Structure 1
Amino acid sequence: MSTTIARKPPTTDVPQQPARKLHRQKPKKTASDWVILVVAIIIGLLIAVPFLLILINSFKSPGDYNQGGPLQLPTHVYTDGIVNFWNRVNFPEKLWNSVFISGAVAIFAVLISVLNAYAIGIGRVKARTWILVLFLLANMLPQEALLYPLYFMFKQVGLYDNPWSVIIIFTVIQSAFGTYLLSSVYGTFPKEVLEAASLDGAGRWRILWRVVVPISRPTLSVLLIFFFIWTWNEFLIPLTFLVSNDNQTVPVAISVLQGDRLMDVTTTSASALLGLIPTLIFFLIFQRTLTRGITAGAVK
């Protein structure tokens, strides 16, 4: 009995061709795209014009301003306006007051908003819609309607002319908006994630800080940035509740100084520039965080 053994045919090494790189063709821009680009550039220039005017007039002497007006470039760098404003209002003290108040409001408002939205959006409390309507109405109240009740209340508790009075007021105001926004976000939170965490033995408090907060971190970062900038720019309530010079914020110091003494335009521009630079630096530092947070909801 003979057995036949099948022989494999000789293999020849065939050199493999390198994989071709796929080059994606860039979509051609249409006429509408160019129109949108031109409109965006024009809007950007219009927004930048006030800042450029402030920058030019901040380093211009009163003589140059009287001769050439606000649009002419300065003949030489004049820094006396910035120095005079810096020393006259004790700008480092006012800067610290604004940073402290705005930072505390941003942190406390985000924290309260998370707790409220977790109970309303995920906890599904009764009368959820009416509670959100109340938060929305509270955020829509004009500040002028709150001045006298809050003034009387903080006078009674001894917090008038105290930075914590402004912190408490703006924490409540900002957290009303934050609760309204986060409740709608948490209302669409994936239930599968919450159920999986619950099956693993996590309680409600642990689910909040280990699951909900990390996933919603981009939205919370956006709220934190907006709360800081909004509080920084507030004027009426800090003007009413911070009457002493040591507790005033940057916007209040600028306005009080303008009303207290006759100021030239260059010093006024210098004060506006010094008040604008901190928020501009804050925005540039957290620009990438703000962009990621805004676009996070566009990608599922």
Structure 2
Amino acid sequence: MTRTDRLTGQALVTVFCLGVLIPFAALVLASLNPPGTPISGLSWPESPSLESFSQAWSTAGFGSLLLNSAAIGLGVVPVALVCATLAGYAFATMRFRGRGALYIVLLLGLTLPYEAAVVPLYYDLRSLGLTDTPWSLILALVGLYMPFGAFWMRQQFSALPKELLEAASLDGAGSWTVLWRVLLPCVRPALTTLGLLYFLWAWNQFLLALILIQDPAGRTAPAGLAFFVGAHTTDVPSLAAATLIVIGPVVVVYLFFQRNFVAGMVAGAVKG
């Protein structure tokens, strides 16, 4: 790599970082102003306070909203990971009739915008009596995330040396033993990355949460934020504080699993 290429890469990374950090800094600075303070530009508040956070928290009831979102995310992640792992393992290591056609049909789900499935999902879940319950959103998200999860895990399993499977078969290991004791330890970073992506997607889900859970007591944090924005369109400090409250848990989870996330992404890129 030449010096010019290295400098160009560093410049691009710097631009992307600034594109993320400047809006985030603007949110933080705006939220430190008292509620109702007019905001103009990116400047340090004259009298910094946490009053906007307190007002947003109590007015919108973010305590229960965050718990609802956490319950949805923690419900989606394990179920979706198990389904994606089993599907990826089957498509990568097993030979059965219709395997290729079934995999193509599954991949077609990647091209389907989830907005197109909202109406059928609502009526199907309503007929089962699941609307306005966390299970309606959990089951819907697990199904919508399956195509990507199965594709991701199939790629990870397919990239492993075939000798691992052959050695395990010679030792008399069954399919479950091969998956649990041989393959899963090898793809643990990729599995962690997939779980983190599932949690982030489930937490940020807005449209399905708004339609499938219309009970105010069961709303998720993004849906509650939308109603809060509609009621406080001119109170910029409170809006900024509410936004930071909603995205705060996602940022914390990402920072906690950052190394695992990057390791999984790099491993997937190298193996692919």
Q: Is the 8 A contact 1:110 1:178 kept in 2?
A: yes
Residues 3-26 of structure 1 show CA distances to partners (whole Å, capped at 9, x for unaligned) of xxxxxxxxxxxxxxxxxxxxxxxx
Query: Following the alignment from structure 1 to structure 2, what is the Cα–Cα distance between the partners of residues 158 and 299?
Result: 44
Post-superposition CA distance 1:117-139 (Å, at most 9, x none): 11111013333332222112123
Number of the residue aligned with 2:71: 100
Q: Rate the CA distance shift 1:39–1:144 in 2: closer, same or farther, 3 A.
A: closer
**Secondary structure class of the residue paired with 2:28:** helix
Partner of 1:91: 62
Higher RCO (CA < 8 A, seq sep 6+)? 2
More helix by share: 2
Distance (Å, rounded) in 1 between the aligned partners of 2:162 and 2:234? 61
Percent identity reads 31
Helix, strand or coil: the match of 1:125? Answer: coil
SS of 1:61's equivalent in the other structure is coil
Give the C-alpha shift of residue 65 in structure 1: 2.4
Greater Rg over alpha carbons, structure: 1
Q: Aligned pair count? A: 271
Amino acid at match of 1:154: L
* Correspondence for 1:54: 27
Structure 2 distance, partners of 1:32, 1:149, is 50
Note if contact 2:149-2:194 (Cα within 8 Å) is conserved in structure 1.
yes
- Per-residue CA deviation, residues 197-245 of structure 1 (Å, 9 max, x unaligned), is 1221211111111111111111111101111111111100000011112
> Structure 2 vs 1, CA of residues 215 and 268 (structure 1 numbering), >3 Å: closer, same or farther?
same
| AA matched with 2:174 | G
The partner residue of 2:49 within 75, 78, 87 is 78
Select the residue among 245, 248, 256 that pairs with 1:277: 248
Is 2:183 the partner of 1:212? yes
Conserved? CA contact 1:222–1:293, under 8 Å: yes
Q: Name the counterpart of 1:12.
A: none
| TM-score of the two chains, using structure 1 as the length reference | 0.85
Q: Say if 2:21 is the partner of 1:45.
A: no
Shift of 1:263: 4.8
2:4 equivalent in structure 1:
31
Cα gap change, 1:39/1:55 in structure 2, threshold over 3 Å: closer, same or farther?
Answer: same
Task: List gaps (5 residues or longer) in structure 1.
Answer: 1-26
C-alpha change, 1:160 and 1:299, in structure 2 (3 Å) is closer
Change (3 A) 1:153 1:64: closer
**Separation of aligned partners in 1, 2:239 and 2:153:** 40
Structure-2 change in CA distance of 1:264 and 1:156 (3 Å)? same
Q: TM-score, normalised by structure 2?
A: 0.93
- Residue 153 and residue 63 in structure 1: after superposition, are their counterparts in 2 closer, same or farther (change >3 A)? closer
Structure 1 residues 225-244: aligned runs within 5 Å: 225-244=196-215
Measure how far apart 1:185 and its partner are: 2.7
Tell me the secondary structure at the aligned position of residue 38 of structure 2: helix
Alignment of 1:1-300 (within 5 A): 30-61=3-34, 64-65=37-38, 69-260=40-231, 262-297=233-268, 298=270
Do the aligned partners of 1:118 and 1:208 also contact (CA within 8 Å) in 2? yes
Q: Which residue type is aligned with residue 114 of structure 1?
A: T
Q: Helix, strand or coil: the match of 1:160?
A: coil
Structure 1: distance between partners of 2:153 and 2:161: 14
